[in-house]
Structure 1
C-alpha cells in the first residue's frame, strides 16, 4: 500500500509482486487487491480458502505454497479489517511513492480493473444506485489508463488526486453496497 498513507502496510506491494514473479506472473499485486476489495464492496466475504482458490485460478491453477498462502491470508484479513474500520484507513495496494509515476499509474489501472472484476462477479444483475453506477463508470475509465513517462509535478498531483478519489470511492461503495445498514444507521444518527 502506498507510503503516503499514515496506516501500516497490510502486505507490502513488493513482497506480493516478488511472490507473483516467482510463480510465473499471470497477475498484478494491485489487481489482486482490487479483486478482493471489489468482492468485499459488493457484499461478499467468501473466506480465505475461497480466496486462495480464486488466486490459484488467476495463476492458471497453480498450487499456492504455504508462504504465499500466508501472504494472501494477511492481505485478505487486513483488507477486511481496514474496510470495516470507521477511520477511513484503507489504502490501495500500489507501488511505493518513490517508484516511477508510470509504474504507479499502471498499477492504479490494474487495481480498478481488478475491483470491477471482483465487484461484478458478486453483484451480478442486482440493481445499483445511479451514484454506484457512476463510480463504476469512473473506475472503468481509470482501468483503461495508458501511463506515460511523465514525472512532472502536475502529473504527480493528478495521480494523487485520482488515487485518493478511488480510495474514497471504495469506502463509499463498501458502506453503501456491502453494509447498507451501517449507512442507514449513520443517516439516522445525523437526523436526531
Structure 2
C-alpha cells in the first residue's frame, strides 16, 4: 500500500513533501500523484515537459522548466512520472498510492482524500465528455466521497483497518479504471484500421 512496496524506483512521500515546501507549497504530494494517476487512467500520456507545466500551474506558476529551478525537483517529478507510468503498465497490481508511511492516521487519511481529489481533477481534465462505463462512473462517485473525508484524531485498530481497506479499494479502483479506459482506447484505435 505504501510507496516502499513498489517494484519501480518511485518518489518517497517525505522527499517530495520537503521539496514542495521549499518551492513555496501550493500542493500536496498525494494530490500531485493523484493528478498524474488520473491523467494516465483517462488515457493520456502527456510527457514529462507537459507534466512540469501542469505542476507549475499548481505552484503559483513557478517556472519549472527554467535553468534556475533546482534540478532535484525536476528529477523528482520525472521519477514520479516515469515510475507511475511503469507501475500502471505492468498490470501486476504493483501500483502504490503516494501516501505518508509513518504519520498519524489523521494525516494519512487526509492524504488519501487529497489523492482522490487530485485523481478526479486529472481524470476529468483529460476524459472530457467521453462515455464511461457504469463501473467507472461508480469509482468516480466513490472517489468524490473519499475526497470529502474529514479525518479525525482516532488511531484505534478499527480506524486503522478501515483506512487500510479504503486505501486498498482506491488502489484497486485505480487499476480497474486505467485498464478499462486503456482497453477502450486500444479498441477504438484498432477499429479504425482498414482491412485489405
Name 1:73's counterpart in structure 2: 78
Unaligned runs of 5+ in 1: 184-192
Q: What are the residue-to-residue correspondences of 1:81-100 with 2, within 5 Å?
A: 81-96=86-101, 98-100=102-104
Name 1:45's counterpart in structure 2: 45
Give the distance between the partners of 1:122 and 1:40, measured in 2 at CA: 9
Give the distance between the partners of 1:141 and 1:105, measured in 2 at CA: 13
2:130 aligned residue (87, 104, 126): 126
Unaligned runs of 5+ in 2: 188-196
Q: TM-score, normalised by structure 1?
A: 0.90
User: 1:20/1:6 Cα in 2 relative to 1: closer, same or farther (>3 Å)?
Assistant: closer
Please tell me whether residue 12 in structure 1 is matched to residue 6 in structure 2. no
Deviation at 1:99, TM superposition (A): 1.2
1:141 aligned residue (131, 138, 145): 145
- Mean Cα deviation higher: 57-66 or 140-149: 57-66
Deviations 1:45-74 (CA, angstroms, capped at 9, x unpaired): 000000000000110111232211110000
Give the distance between the partners of 1:9 and 1:162, measured in 2 at CA: 25
1:43 touches 1:179 (CA, 8 Å); kept in 2?
A: no
Give the distance between the partners of 1:72 and 1:117, measured in 2 at CA: 18
Name 1:106's counterpart in structure 2: 110
1:2 touches 1:95 (CA, 8 Å); kept in 2?
A: yes
User: 1:2/1:9 Cα in 2 relative to 1: closer, same or farther (>3 Å)?
Assistant: farther
Give the distance between the partners of 1:37 and 1:3, measured in 2 at CA: 14
Aligned-CA RMSD value: 1.6
Deviations 1:134-162 (CA, angstroms, capped at 9, x unpaired): 00000000000000000000000000000
Name 2:61's counterpart in structure 1: 61
Deviation at 1:180, TM superposition (A): 3.3
Secondary structure in structure 2 of the residue aligned to 1:141 = helix
1:44 touches 1:178 (CA, 8 Å); kept in 2?
A: no
What is the aligned length? Answer: 182
